[in-house]
Amino acid sequence: MTEPLDARPGTDAARVFDPVGVAWQPVSPRLTTVRLISAGVWLLLPFAGGVVAAVLSGLAGLWAIPAVVLAVGLWIAVVVPRQVRAWGYAERDDDLLIRKGVMFRTLVVVPYGRMQFVDVQAGPLDRWGGIARVQLHTASPGTDAAIPGLVPAEAARLRDRLAARGEAQLAGL
Amino acid sequence: MTEAPGPVWNRVHPVTPAVKGWKVLAVLLAIAVQQVGTNIGEAQDLVGTVGWGPVAAVVAAATVVGFVYAAIAWRMTRYAVDSEAVYLHTGVLFRQQRTARLDRVQAIDVVQPLLARLFGLAELKIEVAGGADSAVRLAFLREDQAQQLRNELLARAAGVEFGTEEQPEAPVAPEREVLAVSAGRLIGSLVRSVAIVFLLLGMIAAIVVAVVSREIGAAFGLLPLVLAAGGYLWGRFAGEFNFRAAQSPDGIRLRHGLLESRSQTVPPGRVQAVRISQAWLWRRKDWWRVQINVAGYGQVEEQQTENVLLPVGDRDEALLALWLVLPELGAADPRPVLDAALAGGGGAGEDPFTTSPRAARWLDPWSWSRNGYLVTERALLVRSGRFVRQLVVVPHERTQSVALSQGPLQRRLGVATVLLHSTPGPVAPQVVHLEESVAGALLVEQAARARTARAGAGPERWMRELRAQAARATVDVEREVPQPEPVEPEVPQPEPVEPDAPQPERVEAQLGLPEVAPPVTSQPEPVEPETHQPEVPRP
């Protein structure tokens, strides 16, 4: 967590989201690459469109479109590496902890016994980058417990481990 | 699906097509009304040019198609019940075979739409927690048949043995009516709702517009507002009319409905969260509304009444409704706690709740001193709202997962929000803007509490208990296995739970969080952690 801490004396703002004694596993840095490429692909079209429109029409005002797109792209380039670094998970005896976010932080505690199913997903770009996304589902749609950017072997290991633990602590709803 | 060896297949009632066949026509009519409602002039022109003949022909054709399809669908529908599950085969072109395990049943409803009611028919709806449209719907059965099948399914799900010589049929669970809402009270509650304000405003505006513009057509622009508000009010009235709640060993029974009558049974331990709320205009009357999350009912629109445990009632009735779900609140003296939970806070008097710090007033200037939580042995109580007062109660063993969230503004003010994830429904429990350290401690403690409570009680307990009851009723007392907690046969005892030790020291030591003692109203007895730990077989 590289976020500046709250200035109030005696408190440590980051501590709530970073309890000691929890060994956080980071996600793969390849996630940064994949996300940046994905964002680049999405932004390329409006950027190119804006440039073409500005050049063809000759209106100086139209350059605002590619400028805005470029600014968004730069912002993403700054934010995504930090987001990826902020993402972490920890397997404990009875539950899985997932934390994420830089501006808007969340820390989710999912008990293994509450897991209904586990998804492992990998899109074409993810596969190219050699990463996969593991998502836990409970009976609640509010449970936002996804870990993107795992190397496939780790994703498979985590999936099997979660499934095994969920089965061991299985209970209805 | 592999067919179970011995289930006896049944057909639904042969009058079913006559009831269901109207659906096509109803859909057609609804579309027509929707279209005509906005373009009434064009519709008149259309009928004027082509005449009524084609319109009648279309209606007749739709009716015939509807009934023929319903008749074929009836032939294709079969259901069966055995001790494990209920099976349903449906579909004309796209066949579907559905099996629902009885130990996964979340609720069983007997629904009677108006037309079915005239024929003395009813639909049996068996809810399982499988998301939208996961219910097994047996439509239609004879009303008494539906009731009997419901008793049978509940008895089987609860593990009650029958089919023997002394007990050939499923025993009818005795029930005791606890709550009833009179029509006058219901109307009174709707008169004091926001929708009525919209309805009146819409109607007044329509009249003003019509008078000023001297043209009746101009008022139609306000029709959607009036229809929406009126439809909402009518939906509430019709759905919650003649509301009664009863208690029985196989769960909470809810009956309501004016045209479509509904009789719901929610077995013990199936309610995931409860919300008691008070609209602003209800405060002088001290009226409250109680809603519940049940996994099978899922996410519903505001108008639907499945998730309502009490449409309107005074404070005592609302607390009685809560008691139906959670007989043991886990507080030494529940009443003052609940009074504080409903109407307390805001800086007046002694407050057992842990509220937001003063810094949170920048984020929530009205309710920050009311927003807060209280932990009892059995549940987490979350209080919020100054204008719309609200209390959410989540039993510890029903917590799915817990989360902590903090935005940039919250970080500046040193506060964070704790979210408890519940099954889909009207209740979304969250404690907003707690002080960081308090929120962090609540997160880990709540996770630990949920785990220990979970290990102590589950839905399976309901079956074990009822089985024990059934055993006590039929078998000699001497032969019975000693039960840890004796249960009286008549009084339904929904899941007594061993006091769950939150083990705060252990958790904090584990996570190194700042020490914040939860405001537990009564100290739970110290319990050895081993007794609650689920056995985890190591592979």
Residue B106 near chain A (CB below 8 Å): yes
| A102 lies in the same domain as A164 | yes
**Is residue A150 in some structural domain?**
yes
Residue B512 pLDDT > 60? no
Domains of chain B and any CATH numbers: 10-165 (2.30.29), 326-454 (2.30.29), 463-494 (no CATH)
Could you report the per-residue pLDDT of A35-49, keeping only the tens digit for each?
A: 999 999 999 999 999
Query: Taking residues B413-442, what's their average pLDDT?
Result: 93
Q: Do A106 and B403 lie within an 8 Å CB cutoff?
A: yes
Residue B514 near chain A (CB below 8 Å): yes
| A151 lies in the same domain as A94 | yes
Out of A82, A113, A142, pick the residue that ends a domain: A82
Backbone φ, ψ for residue B390 (5° rounding)? -150, 140
**Is residue A128 in some structural domain?**
yes
* Spatial contact of B147 and B110, defined as CB atoms under 8 Å apart: yes
Asked if residue B140 has a cis previous peptide bond (ω within 30° of 0), the answer is: yes
Shortest Cα–Cα distance, A156 to chain B (Å): 17
Residues in Cβ contact with B91 at an 8 Å cutoff, skipping those fewer than 6 apart = B73, B76
Q: What angle do CA B458, B464, B467 make, to 5 degrees?
A: 155
| A74 lies in the same domain as A110 | no
Cβ neighbour number for residue B314 with a 10 Å cutoff: 14
Question: B484: pLDDT confidence band, cut at 50, 70 and 90?
Answer: very low
Q: What angle do CA B20, B22, B26 make, to 5 degrees?
A: 125
Where do we find the tokens 């209800």? B282
DSSP string across B302-364: TT--TTEEEEEEEHHHHHHHHHHH-S----SSHHHHHHHHHH--TT-S---SEE--GGGGGT-
**Is residue A11 in some structural domain?**
no
Give the B window 75-104 contacts with A, CB below 8 Å.
103-104
**Is residue A10 in some structural domain?**
no
Q: Domain range holding A160?
A: 88-168
| A77 lies in the same domain as A121 | no
| A94 lies in the same domain as A155 | yes
pLDDT value, residue B316: 95
Give the B window 392-431 contacts with A, CB below 8 Å.
398, 400-408, 411-412, 414, 416, 419, 421-424, 428
| A104 lies in the same domain as A150 | yes
| A73 lies in the same domain as A101 | no
CA B196 to chain CA mean position, Å: 25
Of the residues B103, B394, B421, the best mutation for testing chain A's interface (the one with the most A CB atoms within 10 Å of its CB) is B421
How far apart CA B250 and CA B265 sit, in angstroms, is 8
Cα-based distances in Å from B129 to A119, B8, B154, B296: 19, 25, 16, 4
Q: Do A16 and B104 lie within an 8 Å CB cutoff?
A: no
Could you report the per-residue pLDDT of B294-321, keeping only the tens digit for each?
A: 988 876 554 578 899 999 999 999 999 9
* Spatial contact of B398 and B378, defined as CB atoms under 8 Å apart: no
Provide the percentage of residues in chain B whose pLDDT is more than 70.
79
Taking contacts as CB-CB distances below 8 angstroms, the residues of chain B near A157 are: none
Of the residues B396, B398, B401, B505, the best mutation for testing chain A's interface (the one with the most A CB atoms within 10 Å of its CB) is B401
**Is residue A19 in some structural domain?**
no
Query: Taking residues B421-435, what's their average pLDDT?
Result: 92
User: Closest residue of B to A19, CA-based?
Assistant: B511
Backbone φ, ψ for residue A168 (5° rounding)? -65, -35
**Is residue A49 in some structural domain?**
yes
**Is residue A4 in some structural domain?**
no
Backbone φ, ψ for residue B250 (5° rounding)? -90, 10
pLDDT value, residue B462: 61
Residues in Cβ contact with B300 at an 8 Å cutoff, skipping those fewer than 6 apart = B306, B307, B425, B426
* Spatial contact of B335 and B342, defined as CB atoms under 8 Å apart: no
Q: Do A172 and B444 lie within an 8 Å CB cutoff?
A: no
Tokens of B156: 């089987």
* Spatial contact of A96 and A113, defined as CB atoms under 8 Å apart: no
Cα-based distances in Å from B51 to A13, A148, B31, B43, B46: 75, 63, 19, 11, 8
Could you report the per-residue pLDDT of B441-466, keeping only the tens digit for each?
A: 999 899 989 888 887 765 454 655 55
Query: Taking residues B418-445, what's their average pLDDT?
Result: 92
pLDDT value, residue B217: 77
Residue A153 near chain B (CB below 8 Å): no
Residue B413 pLDDT > 90? yes
Most confidently predicted of A10-14, A29-33, B47-51, B529-533 = A29-33
Taking contacts as CB-CB distances below 8 angstroms, the residues of chain B near A108 are: 401-404
pLDDT value, residue B519: 38
Cα-based distances in Å from B254 to B107, B257, B420, B498: 11, 10, 27, 29
Query: Taking residues B118-133, what's their average pLDDT?
Result: 87
* Spatial contact of A73 and A43, defined as CB atoms under 8 Å apart: yes
Could you report the per-residue pLDDT of B158-207, keeping only the tens digit for each?
A: 877 676 666 667 777 788 999 999 999 999 999 998 888 888 888 898 88
Residue A144 near chain B (CB below 8 Å): yes
Residue B60 pLDDT > 70? yes
Taking contacts as CB-CB distances below 8 angstroms, the residues of chain A near B513 are: 15-16, 19
* Spatial contact of B355 and B371, defined as CB atoms under 8 Å apart: yes
Estimate the crossing angle of helix B22-38 against helix B40-50, to 10 degrees.
Answer: 120
Mean pLDDT of all residues in chain A?
86
How many structural domains comprise chain A? 2
Mean pLDDT of all residues in chain B?
81
Shortest Cα–Cα distance, A75 to chain B (Å): 17
Could you report the per-residue pLDDT of A146-161, keeping only the tens digit for each?
A: 999 999 999 999 999 9
How far apart CA B327 and CA B312 sit, in angstroms, is 20
Backbone φ, ψ for residue B428 (5° rounding)? -125, 90
DSSP H helices in A87-151: 124-129
| A92 lies in the same domain as A78 | no
A157: domain CATH number is 2.30.29
| A37 lies in the same domain as A51 | yes
Shortest Cα–Cα distance, A43 to chain B (Å): 26
Of the residues A3, A12, A109, the best mutation for testing chain B's interface (the one with the most B CB atoms within 10 Å of its CB) is A109
Backbone φ, ψ for residue B470 (5° rounding)? -60, -40
Q: Do B401 and A108 lie within an 8 Å CB cutoff?
A: yes
Residue B510 pLDDT > 60? no
Q: Do A19 and B104 lie within an 8 Å CB cutoff?
A: no
Could you report the per-residue pLDDT of B231-255, keeping only the tens digit for each?
A: 889 989 999 999 999 998 888 999 9
pLDDT value, residue B301: 53
| A64 lies in the same domain as A105 | no
Q: How many CB pairs under 8 A join A and B?
A: 130
| A66 lies in the same domain as A133 | no
**What is the DSSP secondary structure assignment for residue A41, as one 8-state letter?**
H
Question: A141: pLDDT confidence band, cut at 50, 70 and 90?
Answer: confident
Q: Do B512 and A19 lie within an 8 Å CB cutoff?
A: yes
Provide the percentage of residues in chain B whose pLDDT is more than 90.
45
pLDDT value, residue B515: 37
Shortest Cα–Cα distance, A6 to chain B (Å): 6
Out of A47, A82, A117, pick the residue that ends a domain: A82
| A60 lies in the same domain as A98 | no
Could you report the per-residue pLDDT of B251-286, keeping only the tens digit for each?
A: 899 999 999 999 999 988 889 999 999 988 999 999
Helix (H) or strand (E) holding B96, with range, is strand B96-101
How far apart CA B306 and CA B294 sit, in angstroms, is 9
**Is residue A15 in some structural domain?**
no
User: Closest residue of B to A114, CA-based?
Assistant: B400
The residue among B363, B374, B289, B297 whose CA lies nearest residue B330 is: B374
Shortest Cα–Cα distance, B426 to chain A (Å): 12
